[in-house]
Amino acid sequence: MALKNSVYVLPNNPQAREDFEWIKTEIAARKGRASILIAGTLDVATEQEIIAAFRDARQAEYENVKREAEKLLKKLKSAPGISPVRQRAGRVARALRERWEEIRSIDFYQASGGSESAAILDALNQRLARKRFTPTNISEVKELLMPEKFQSKTWVTRPRPGIDRMASAWLIRSFIDPQAKFIFAHKPEEIPAAVPFDMYGVQFSHHGNRCTFETLAQLFNIRGSAIERLAQIVHNLDLKVELYQVPEDAMVGRLVEGLRQLHADDGVLLEKGMEMFEAFYRSFEKTPKGLAKKGRKARKGSASYLGIA
């Protein structure tokens, strides 16, 4: 945020310090001069003014994204079937989502427009999807499964895990069975005492047009916007379709292939894949738990800011 005509400030944290160091390096490379200063406010009123200025700046940017997304959503509602409007809308929707992510990365004080604009972008993505994954739609499930009945189990799946098995194992350990152990076999009957998943002819596998990750989320009623985004990525990559407009598809696919080349041991490969999905899940959450707590704590004390002039 520009505090004065030639002074720019960021909250004093490691990431902001690194960002300013890179900017300083670029200025020096162009024969310019810059200094990075650590500044503290002298009174609460000034601190609140700076925080309010940060929020106002981000609020205006969120409003622009929201306005454009609403216009596009309105056009889509009047464009039946697959039309040129819908085809162009996918590219525009991805660009808007990327812009929203950029704004969120510098939304240090959680402007209210963040959640409002995100909701419109979610609605836009839903409109673009030909058949949307909905973990809350459980009409096809006669009886939901309870995680309590699947504790401390050994789970078995096929060797050389890929996108669906990595994601499903992460979902199992994160939301169903925290003490889950994973082993590998070519057929479920080889280890009858284990719970099979992503194997042929078992309950926790592909059903209809759902991949195993989607099946598990539906049967155990695991919900959330981050889960939905992960499900869309897994669906596209595992079923080799482009049903959902998800910009992360190509990157996730390359990461999975890279892990498969790096790790010959299936157990290590699966654990690394689960770590990757944990990282994606945290990044997809709108307000990560740890970040929210740190933010509240930081605002109780005296504020400190980094500035570049």
pLDDT at 166: 97
Give the CA radius of gyration of the chain: 23
Q: Look at the chain and count its residues.
A: 309
Q: pLDDT tens digits, residue range 132-172? A: 444 434 445 557 899 999 999 999 999 999 999 999 999 99
* 289 falls within a domain: no
Beta-strand runs (E) in the chain:
2-4, 7-11, 36-40, 154-157, 181-184, 195-196, 304-308
Q: pLDDT tens digits, residue range 212-250? A: 999 999 999 998 889 999 999 999 999 887 778 788 888
Considering the domain architecture, whether residues 162 and 269 belong to the same structural domain is answered as yes
Distance CA 298, CA 275 (A): 29
CA 281 to chain centre: 5
Q: What percent of the chain has pLDDT over 90?
A: 45
* 140 falls within a domain: no
Q: How confident is the model at residue 1 (pLDDT cuts 50, 70, 90)?
A: confident
Total structural domains within the chain: 2
Considering the domain architecture, whether residues 253 and 166 belong to the same structural domain is answered as yes
Considering the domain architecture, whether residues 171 and 271 belong to the same structural domain is answered as yes
Whole-Å CA distances, 290 to 13, 57, 298? 15, 24, 12
Task: Evaluate whether 88 touches 97 at the Cβ level (below 8 Å).
Answer: no
Q: pLDDT tens digits, residue range 2-40? A: 776 777 788 888 888 888 888 888 899 899 998 888 888
Considering the domain architecture, whether residues 223 and 105 belong to the same structural domain is answered as no
In this prediction the pTM is 0.59
* 246 falls within a domain: yes
Residue from 65, 53, 52 nearest 121 by CA = 65
Task: Evaluate whether 101 touches 95 at the Cβ level (below 8 Å).
Answer: no
Give me the mean pLDDT over the 197-217 stretch.
92
Amino acid identity, residue 174? S
pLDDT at 238: 92
* 294 falls within a domain: no
Q: Which residue has the higher pLDDT, 19 or 254?
A: 254
pLDDT at 14: 83
Distance CA 155, CA 216 (A): 13
Considering the domain architecture, whether residues 161 and 79 belong to the same structural domain is answered as no
Listed in sequence order, the residues at least 6 apart from 222 whose beta carbon sits closer than 8 Å to its beta carbon are 135, 171, 175, 176, 216
Is the pLDDT score of 264 beyond 80? yes
Amino acid identity, residue 135? P
Whole-Å CA distances, 180 to 17, 173, 174, 254? 40, 6, 9, 27
Considering the domain architecture, whether residues 45 and 92 belong to the same structural domain is answered as yes
Distance CA 7, CA 309 (A): 5
pLDDT at 296: 30
Within a 10 A sphere around the Cβ of 284, how many other Cβ atoms? 17
Considering the domain architecture, whether residues 152 and 280 belong to the same structural domain is answered as yes
pLDDT at 64: 95
First-last CA distance in the chain: 12
Distance CA 59, CA 203 (A): 46
> At residue 306, what are phi and psi to the nearest 5 degrees?
-95, 140
pLDDT at 230: 95
Structural domain for 231, as ranges? 147-284
* 69 falls within a domain: yes
Q: Which residue has the higher pLDDT, 211 or 92?
A: 211
Q: Which residues of 212-222 are buried (b: 16+ CB within 10 A; e: fewer)?
A: bbbbbbbbbeb
Residue from 243, 229, 214, 217 nearest 121 by CA = 229
Considering the domain architecture, whether residues 36 and 87 belong to the same structural domain is answered as yes
* 309 falls within a domain: no
Considering the domain architecture, whether residues 165 and 113 belong to the same structural domain is answered as no
pLDDT at 132: 42
Q: How confident is the model at residue 298 (pLDDT cuts 50, 70, 90)?
A: very low
Distance CA 267, CA 181 (A): 10
Q: Which helix (H) or strand (E) holds 29?
A: helix 14-29
Considering the domain architecture, whether residues 242 and 153 belong to the same structural domain is answered as yes
* 303 falls within a domain: no
Give me the mean pLDDT over the 57-65 stretch.
94
Considering the domain architecture, whether residues 154 and 271 belong to the same structural domain is answered as yes
Q: pLDDT tens digits, residue range 76-114? A: 877 655 556 666 777 788 888 889 988 988 898 889 899
Considering the domain architecture, whether residues 117 and 168 belong to the same structural domain is answered as no
